[in-house]
Amino acid sequence: MLPTLKPGTLVWVFHWAFLFNAPKPGDIVVFRISGEVFVKRVEKVSDNQVYLVGDNPEDSLDSRKLGAISLKNLVGKVIV
């Protein structure tokens, strides 16, 4: 599957998107881990954690390698 966003694409991020509502499967989110910022798609949400996957599974650093991501690591929702 081709990536929805190509490297270098500028995006708008809604930082308050998850203040009152949890992310939903299909949402594209920005998250931060160890000082690095990533953009991935939500696949599953459970127990204050999200399972995030990239659109290009062959070449994506996502929850398949990182494990579930805490909701507190989410920066916001991408508005394309």
For residues 73 and 9, what is the distance between their CA atoms, to the nearest angstrom?
21
Q: Which tokens is 44 given?
A: 């599953």
Q: Look up residue 25 and give its amino acid.
A: P
Q: How much is the pTM?
A: 0.90
Per domain, the residue ranges of the chain are 12-79
Q: Render pLDDT for 37-80 as a digit per residue (tens, 0 to 9).
A: 999 999 999 989 999 999 888 888 999 999 999 999 999 999 97
Q: Look up residue 1 and give its amino acid.
A: M
For residues 28 and 3, what is the distance between their CA atoms, to the nearest angstrom?
12
Q: Render pLDDT for 19-37 as a digit per residue (tens, 0 to 9).
A: 999 999 999 999 999 999 9
For the domain 12-79, what is the CATH superfamily, name and number?
Answer: Umud Fragment, subunit A (2.10.109.10)
Q: Which tokens is 7 given?
A: 């490297």
